Amino acid sequence: MSLPVARRRALIFGISGQDGALLARLLLTKGYEVFGASRDAETQSFANLQRLGIRDRVERRVELISVSLLDFRSVLQSIARVRPDEIYNLAGQSSVGLSFDQPVETFDSISVATLNLLEAIRFHDSAIRVYNACSSECFGNTPQPADENTPMRPRSPYAVAKAAAFWQVANYREGYGLYCASGVLFNHESPLRPERFVVQKTVQAATRIANGSTEKLELGNLAVIRDWGWAPEYVDAMWRMLQQPIAEDFVVATGTSCSLQTLVEDIFCQLGLDWRQHVTYNPTLSRPTDLLESRANPSRAAEVLGWRARVQTSEIVRHMLDRNTI
């Protein structure tokens, strides 16, 4: 009688967020045992997991544990308990704007937390494969498309923290032989995004206006250019990165950028509205050092991972407005 084949185990830090929930769903479809870490798993609602149907009262397909990434002992104990094959580090303060108000908390929750995780893996089991969520914000302004060889010039406390974590990961890969890789992800959206993010903020306001609200949507600089993608596709790139024989970092993006004004116009247009009648400029919403252009060259991901973004901007808007498409 043959023994059953052991299922691979994944531990996701930051499972309550958009990417964490979408990644959990993806890994479950691939037969993984999925564990999610939260600072206090007993009090979190995990609304995103519930919305995706992978965490409800009847069927709890994701096991949740309480872990603080700023507490080395807590991290070490969680790894010893779960014994994961793969760890996905998606945790930390995720708002660029908020990072200007909370630079210390932002740095600790991203950079110090990543260092704790890497050290815990080095002490406990260096065979664990680690994915680290980096950000296109680390590049700064990129009028020419950024790739894996583009120098990092962070222009916000958030980007500084992400860049520090990126180089920590690279150092542990090269200096200690850990299998760890960073995905440098450009903007990616879904209906699971909180409303503090500009695309979701615009979608929600435009929908209310289309339903009769007389409110005005206040936005900052509409001239900024970004590469916006569809988040459910991006978590697939995360998984693919940890399936490679050799760990390396990748830029993950659509390769196509547009201005915020174009995106806002598209959102209102799909609801039969003229955005100019409903949007006002609020200079206080512009960041102290905002990025004017963010462009990407994701050809390396296509070449090595076989990953390409298939959902483009106008289709993303349709999905966001639908809210049932996720």
Active site residues: 135, 137, 158
User: CA 36, 42, 48: angle at the middle one, nearest 5?
Assistant: 50
* 8 A C-beta contact, residue 180 and residue 172: yes
Residue type, 141: N
**HEC assignment per residue over 256-324:** CCEEHHHHHHHHHHCCCCCHHHCEEECHHHCCCCCCCEEEECCHHHHHHHCCCCCCCHHHHHHHHHHCC
Give the helix/strand (H/E) hosting 19: helix 18-29
* 8 A C-beta contact, residue 75 and residue 116: yes
Structure tokens at 57: 């009262």
Matching residue, tokens 């970092």: 249
Integer Cα distance of 184 and 104 in angstroms:
22
